[in-house]
């Protein structure tokens, strides 16, 4: 196994009461966006909400995560699948990478099938930018159903 990777997770404030079950399950199983750590040990060193629109905590939470050793920040899948998806997610990604020098991965657990179906019908993710952003969590249908 390679050196341990330390990560932080930022979730959408709409889901502030989320216990993190899907994120933690996918981290443990290296599914969805966490599949990039297939052969690595991972330590979760921070978990916070964005603090609600317009995401004021995105300015501060990565600093604490970095102080705890985080090298990567994951924006939870909820930022992508919510109704509507976070309109600031690309800006947040660029901001965290520039200000804190940390890699940002958009997504945690696989996109649940029910969200995939709705956003497909709504044509939410048809742009090239959205296609790139959902790629880490866009898995096969069987896996999406397992996360419904």
3-state secondary structure 24-63: HHHHHHCCHHHHHHCCEEEEEEEEEECCCCCCHHHHCHHH
Tell me, what's the pLDDT at 3?
82
Cα torsion through 70, 72, 78, 80, rounded to 10:
160
Reported pTM: 0.95
Q: How many domains does the chain have?
A: 1
Residue 138's domain comprises 2-146
Tell me, what's the pLDDT at 2?
59
**CATH number of the domain that 17 lies in?**
3.40.50
Q: Which residues of the chain have pLDDT under 50?
A: none
3-state secondary structure 65-105: HHHCCCCEEEECCHHHHCCCCCCCHHHHHHHHHHHHCCEEE
How far apart (Å, rounded) are the C-alpha atoms in residues 25 and 38?
A: 14
Q: What is the per-residue pLDDT across 4-45, written as a single tens digit (0 to 9) for each?
A: 999 999 999 999 999 999 999 999 999 999 999 999 999 999
């Amino acid at each position: 196994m390679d050196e341990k990777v330390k990560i932080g997770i930022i979730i959408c404030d709409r889901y502030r009461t989320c216990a993190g079950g899907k994120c933690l399950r996918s981290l443990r199983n290296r599914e969805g966006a966490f599949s990039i750590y297939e052969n690595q040990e991972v330590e979760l060193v921070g978990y916070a909400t964005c603090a609600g629109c317009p995401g004021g905590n995105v300015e501060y939470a990565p600093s604490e995560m970095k102080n705890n050793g985080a090298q990567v920040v994951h924006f939870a899948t909820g930022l992508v699948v919510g109704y509507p998806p976070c309109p600031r997610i690309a800006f947040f990604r660029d901001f965290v990478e520039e200000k804190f020098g940390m890699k940002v991965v958009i997504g945690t657990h696989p996109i649940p099938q029910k969200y995939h179906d709705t956003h497909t019908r709504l044509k939410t993710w048809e742009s090239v930018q959205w296609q790139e952003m959902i790629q880490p969590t866009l898995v096969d249908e069987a896996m999406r159903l397992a996360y419904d």
